[in-house]
Structure 1
Amino acid sequence: MVVLPALAQADDSRLQQLESLDAGRAWQAVGRLDIGGLGFCTGTLIAPDLVLTAAHCLFDKASKARIDPQRIEFLAGWRNGRASAYRQVRRAVVHPDYVYDSDVSPERVRRDLALLQLQHPIRNTTVTPFDTATRPAAGDEVGVVSYARDRSEAPALQEVCGVMARQQGILVMSCDVDFGSSGAPIFSFEGATPRIVSVVSAKAEVRGDRVALGTELGEPLALLRAIMKAGRGYALAPAPDSNRVVVGGVRRDTGAKFIRPGG
């Protein structure tokens, strides 16, 4: 069981709206994923033709079935009705052990990762893919760029939030996320350029305070890359069978009360 630190994060920065071109210039590879008219998530370009996001974004909440990737569009740097690039998705790869219709649990969060291959690479000098980095440690400062239900037309940057705990492949963070933030990149700012260390999977509560949960990248992302390289993935396939989603229950092994996915 994780013993979480005090949740007061005095150094956490406020969300900064990236509504202008100048403000968002460094973040053009972060975009909105429009999911076939069913909603949206956040995704990030990590190669000219690959977008990293959360696996649960690729499932229909009502039917629990996988969404045809060709119904998903990536809007790079989307703000105020315009994007730096528009691309349809050709193919999707989700973690092979991820089960959508399951309890919102540490196991689900740990595997909540997906790669999307675009129909055509984005070769735009203003849209530079982000690199990934090794997992951060508890106590490290990170940041997040995300869209959300109250800021769907432009992303927002929270430059400083904290990694409060790390256990079983899950990061518990003080970052400010909401619906639509699923799949949003969590950045480390160590070094010359920001690098992605996690993606947002869910909101949760710890002792009444809201936190963000994300998966560590490491092995899960390496596995997705290998599957993609092997030419596997899906265009449309049935979701695996499992139990109904149960949210709001306390998970004793993390101390977190799961609310619902962030997107």
Structure 2
Amino acid sequence: MRLIAALALSLLAASGALAQSALETLDTGDKSRGWEAVGRLDFAGTGFCTGALIAPDLVLTAAHCLYDKASGARLDHREITFLAGWRNGRAEAYRAIRRAVAHPNYVFQSETGPLRVRNDVALLELARPIRNTTVIPFTTGAQPAPGARIGVVSYARDRAEAPSLQEVCAVRARQSGVLVMDCEVDFGSSGAPVFSFGPDGPQIVSVVSAKAEMAGRKVALGTDLEAPLALLEAELAAGRGHAPGEGPEIRRLRVGESSSDMGAKFVTAE
């Protein structure tokens, strides 16, 4: 398809335009200052994802983090703990999860592709708000255009004890509600916030969903955030997200739209 070919060429053409910055480990108090609202989501010792506070009681992450990757079953969010600013065995705050909503059109067992990535976002409501002067929730911002400079703060498989910042990477393309970014991600980076940088400070503009290969280059994939986030907030406002037996079940929908091929080999980054 012409669109696929154009996307592949644009990625290749841009490969020398903006070099990826090295990851900076935020393993000291000075380095991590201002990033404490990024934290690790621990799943009862079985794994972890990355999440970020966007309100004193709300954590933004990827929807696939809420599912067991082997069985496909929805995890009990009461066994998830948010460790705000986790660094070298300590966190700025520890919180249990009261409710969790995944995008209502997200289907965990669907084929990994653009449709799954665009809906791969979730909101977790904490059991108690974090009201700590060192943990300031991030605001969300407008979607970045192709070529925009962005950054990612994430935990990952080989850097689980402190987050890392890649401050200079870029949006390479937007297609079908998916951002294609040349940021470095690995397993554990799922749900990591993607930031734009402006006069108002860092703002979250996407959430890392997967890593992929396009035209022989490694890229990160995330959702356009504005519309999915508004839908998730409406889901919480409607009382959804309770565990079985606690309250209303989350309504899950299957949509009849087809998944357009972006020419990428997708790998979830959990």
TM-score (norm 1): 0.92
Alignment of 1:164 with 2:179, yes or no, is no
* In structure 1, distance between residues paired with 2:166 and 2:221: 15
TM-score (norm 2): 0.90
The letter of the residue matching 1:261 is T
Alignment-derived partner of residue 142 in structure 1? 150
Alignment of 1:111 with 2:116, yes or no, is no
Residues 82-97 of structure 1: matches in 2 within 5 Å? 82-97=90-105
Alignment-derived partner of residue 268 in structure 2? 261
SS of equivalent to 1:124: coil
* Shift in Å, 1:241: 10
* In structure 1, distance between residues paired with 2:136 and 2:183: 24
* Shift in Å, 1:8: 1.7
SS of equivalent to 1:224: helix
Q: Contact conserved, 1:32 with 1:74, CA < 8 A, in 2?
A: yes
* In structure 2, distance between residues paired with 1:238 and 1:90: 14
SS of equivalent to 2:34: helix
Alignment-derived partner of residue 15 in structure 2? 8
Alignment-derived partner of residue 62 in structure 2? 54
Q: Which moved more, 1:48-57 or 1:185-194?
A: 185-194
Q: Which moved more, 1:227-236 or 1:47-56?
A: 227-236
Post-superposition CA distance 1:37-85 (Å, at most 9, x none): 2210000000000000000000011221111111000000001000000
The letter of the residue matching 2:179 is L
**How high is the sequence identity, in percent, across the aligned residues?**
62
Alignment of 1:65 with 2:73, yes or no, is yes
Runs of at least 5 residues in structure 1 that lack an aligned partner in the other structure: 243-250
* In structure 1, distance between residues paired with 2:240 and 2:221: 28
SS of equivalent to 1:189: strand
* Shift in Å, 1:192: 2.8
The letter of the residue matching 2:27 is E
* In structure 2, distance between residues paired with 1:239 and 1:39: 26
* Shift in Å, 1:240: 6.5
Post-superposition CA distance 1:97-121 (Å, at most 9, x none): 1000110011000000000000000
* In structure 1, distance between residues paired with 2:97 and 2:38: 15
The letter of the residue matching 2:184 is D
* Shift in Å, 1:253: 2.9
How many residues are paired up?
A: 254
The letter of the residue matching 2:39 is G
Residues 98-247 of structure 1: matches in 2 within 5 Å? 98-236=106-244
